[in-house]
Structure 1
Amino acid sequence: MSRAFVRETDGGEAFEDLPDRPISPHQNFVTPSGLAQIDAMIEDLRHRLAKAQAAEEKSEVARVSRDLRYWSHRKSTADMIPPPTDFSQVRFGSRVTFERDDGRTQTYRIVGEDEADPAKGSISYVSPLAQALLGKQVGDVIPVAQTEAEITRIE
C-alpha cells in the first residue's frame, strides 16, 4: 500500500512543512521603538519555542519556529532610522496631521512595515498615504482616497 494512504501516528499532519512567512521586498526601515518591538517579539518567541519543545507540541514548535525565522530575518535586515529633528517636511518617523475636505482631521506617524497599525495612528512608509505625504510641507495638499487633504502639522 502507498504511504499516501497510511495515517501517521501523530495525526498525519506535516507540521515541519509550514511555509515561511513572506518577506517584504521593501527596505526594512524601522524606528527605534520598532526595533525594540522586534527584539521583544524575538525574546517572546524564544521563550514560547522552549516551552513548546519541552511539552513536545509539534504544531506549536513548527508555528513558533516559522515566526522566529521571520522576526530574526527582520532584525538582521533592520535599518534603524533615528527620529526626525527637522519638521520642515514629512520624513520617516514624522507624525503628520492633515485636514480632509470633509472637515475630518487625522494624524498618522510614518513607520516601518512591521510596526504599522493604522487603527493606532501609524502607517507604513510604503503605504499610498505615506507615499503621498513624504517630502511634503505644512500647507501642501495631497490626494486622499477620492478627495484631498491639507497638511496642517508635522512633528
Structure 2
Amino acid sequence: MTHATDTDDDDTPAGPPMPAGGKNYITQAGCDRLRAELVQLLDVERPKVVETVHWAASNGDRSENGDYLYGKKRLREIDRRIRFLTRRLDMAVVVDPSLHHGKDQVFFGATVTYARQDGSETTVTILGMDEADTAQGHISWVAPVAQALLKAREGDEVRLRTPHGWEVLEVLEVRYPVPVP
C-alpha cells in the first residue's frame, strides 16, 4: 500500500531544465562540484538517513513516527537529487575556458563587461547551467544576456530582447582565465 507521504514526484526537476540539444556545458570546477555533491549524498547523507529510517521503523507504529516519516521524505529528496546529478554528469561536456585566454571574442567561460544604454556597466561570467549564480555574476550560457553576448567581440554592440523591448549592449571587455600548466 502506498501512502500519500510515500509518493515520489519524479516529474519535479531538481534544477534548471536542459536546453534543446541536451548539451550540458560546464567548467571542470563546476563538474567537480557536482561530482563532490553526488559522492557526499551517496557516501554520507543517504546512509545516515537510511540508518535513521531503519531505526525509526523498528520502533513500531510508523503512521505517527516523525523520525520515520521525515526520514522517508528526506530519502526521497536525496534520491531525486542523486538521479538529477547523475543525469547532469552523464550529459556534461567539460569546457576549458582558459583555451581562449587572450582572445577578445565571447565564448563559454568568458568574463564579459558590457555597457547598457543608460551608461551602467555590468560584468558577468558565462558558465554552465548548474554553475549559474547571479549574486556572484555567474550566468548560464543559455540565459538571454549570454545568448546575446556569445560570439561578440570587444567593441561590438549586441541587441538583447527584454520585456520592455530591445536594448543595445556594448561589449567593453572580454577576459578568460589564465591556462594552468
TM-score bracket for this pair, using the shorter chain length: 0.7 to 0.9
Paired residue secondary structure (2:97): coil
1:59 aligns with 2:73: yes
- Kindly report which structure 2 residues correspond to 1:23-102, keeping only aligned pairs within 5 A, or say none: 23-25=17-19, 26-46=22-42, 47-56=44-53, 57-86=71-100, 87-102=103-118
1:150 aligns with 2:170: yes
Could you tell me the TM-score, scaled by structure 1's length? 0.85
| RMSD over equivalenced CA pairs, Å | 1.8
Partner AA of 1:63 in structure 2: E
What is the total number of aligned residue pairs between the two structures? 146
Deviation at 1:15, TM superposition (A): 2.6
Identity %: 32
Task: Extract structure 1 runs of 4+ deviating beyond 6 A.
Answer: none
Question: Which of 14, 17, 22 is the aligned partner of 2:8?
Answer: 17
1:129 aligns with 2:149: no
Paired with 2:145 and 2:121, the residues of 1 have a C-alpha distance of: 14
Paired residue secondary structure (1:55): helix
Contact kept, 8 Å, 1:30 with 1:111, in 2: the verdict is yes
Could you tell me the TM-score, scaled by structure 2's length? 0.74
Paired with 2:52 and 2:36, the residues of 1 have a C-alpha distance of: 23
Paired with 1:33 and 1:43, the residues of 2 have a C-alpha distance of: 15
Give a deviation string over 1:114-154, Cα, whole Å, max 9, x none: 11112211111111111111100000112243422210100
Partner AA of 2:52 in structure 1: A
Paired residue secondary structure (2:135): helix
Point out where structure 2 has 5 or more consecutive residues left out of the alignment: 54-70, 176-181
**Where does residue 126 of structure 2 map in the other structure?**
110
Partner AA of 1:58 in structure 2: K
Paired residue secondary structure (2:169): strand
Q: 1:29 to 1:21 in 2, by over 3 A?
A: farther
Deviation at 1:43, TM superposition (A): 2.0
Give a deviation string over 1:12-62, Cα, whole Å, max 9, x none: 334342224435243111011110111121122222111110100111111
